[in-house]
Amino acid sequence: MLARETTSLLKKHYIRLDRRKGQNYLINNHILSRIVEKAQIDDSDVILEIGAGIGTLTIPLAENASKVVAVEQDKKIIPVLREQVRKKGISNVEILEGDATRLDFPYFNKVVSNLPYQISSPVTFKLLQYEFDFAILMYQLEFAQRMVAKPGESNYSRISVMMNLCTRTELLFKVPSKAFIPPPKISSAVVKLTPQKNPAADEFFVKTCRALFQHKKKKSGKALLQSFHEISDRDLDRGTIRDLISHVDNKLIEERVFNLKGEEILIISRELKDSIKKYGEKNGFEE
């Protein structure tokens, strides 16, 4: 039924979905129901939905929540979304037009979204800057598996580290590609993400983590040396950078990046930050 309704609506408005924009619309009623169920919505919840599309998820969310803030970037899709909401007699949906990676989000306490896959990473990191109860999010399966990967595993990455330190992340269930139109090339997965504040995972830590994982198969000292521009934009010579890195725990800088636990990267970040600070004080500048 959902598949027929979606196809009919798209034809009526002469809309052709673009895979390159991550426009893969859910057409499976069972999966839709499971997502809404996992969100445990009550009439006090304000839900943020990113990539609202034609309202497939927006409408059932709005029927249960106090309010839905629906973000959509495609100017051709937004009139259809407005029409669908109006036809259902729903008045508690606020539609925000724009790029979710650039918008400032209004208040929300839960996030429920079939995320456009090409912005999965920046949106996930952005959400961690906000306070909310939890998020139920659809990702490409490969990305979801990276989110829950452990040190030493082949798909262990920067997102794995951040999720481990700053959230409780659970892969709830997989979703086959045939549950969407157009079907994506790989399967998807629904993830529950519950934020946990970690003050140590500050901006400098994020930069350090990014520098390390640009060379995740190398020893962490060498990775930092080769990607130090991610940490500091000062024009430092290679010898100075080596000296700064040498003040970090030797055991950790000799370990390969993909084997480092999040807590160990926190130590690297903290010790490197102190090293740079002392260098700056000695040479009359601050980072």
pLDDT per residue as tens digits for the range 139-158? 999 999 999 999 999 999 99
Q: Would you say residue 235 has pLDDT above 90?
A: no
Q: Would you say residue 173 has pLDDT above 90?
A: yes
Give the separation between CA 112 and CA 49, rounded to whole angstroms: 5
What pLDDT, in 10s, does the model give residues 93-117?
999 999 999 999 999 999 999 998 8
Average pLDDT over residues 216-238: 94
DSSP 134-201: EEEEEEEHHHHHHHT--TTSTT--HHHHHHHHHEEEEEEEEE-GGGEESPPSS-EEEEEEEE---TTS
Average pLDDT over residues 1-20: 85
Residue 11: phi, psi to the nearest 5? Answer: -65, -45
Give the separation between CA 271 and CA 283, rounded to whole angstroms: 18
**Beta bridge mates, 195:** 167
Q: Which residues contact 270 (CB under 8 A, 6 or more apart)?
A: 200
Cβ distance 169 to 181 under 8 Å?
no
Domain 203-283 belongs in CATH node 3.40.50.300: no
Which residue ranges make up each domain of the chain? 2-195, 203-283
Q: Would you say residue 286 has pLDDT above 70?
A: no
Cβ distance 158 to 214 under 8 Å?
no
The secondary structure of residue 256, as a DSSP letter, is B
Q: Give the number of other Cβ atoms within 10 Å of residue 3's Cβ.
A: 16
Q: Would you say residue 21 has pLDDT above 90?
A: no
Average pLDDT over residues 189-211: 93
Q: Which residues contact 101 (CB under 8 A, 6 or more apart)?
A: 119, 122, 123, 126
Q: Would you say residue 268 has pLDDT above 80?
A: yes
What pLDDT is recorded for position 120?
A: 92
Question: What architecture does CATH give domain 2-195?
Answer: 3-Layer(aba) Sandwich (3.40)
Which residue, chain included where needed, has tokens 């740079």?
A: 276
What pLDDT is recorded for position 287?
A: 59
| Strand-pair category, 134-140 with 188-195 | antiparallel
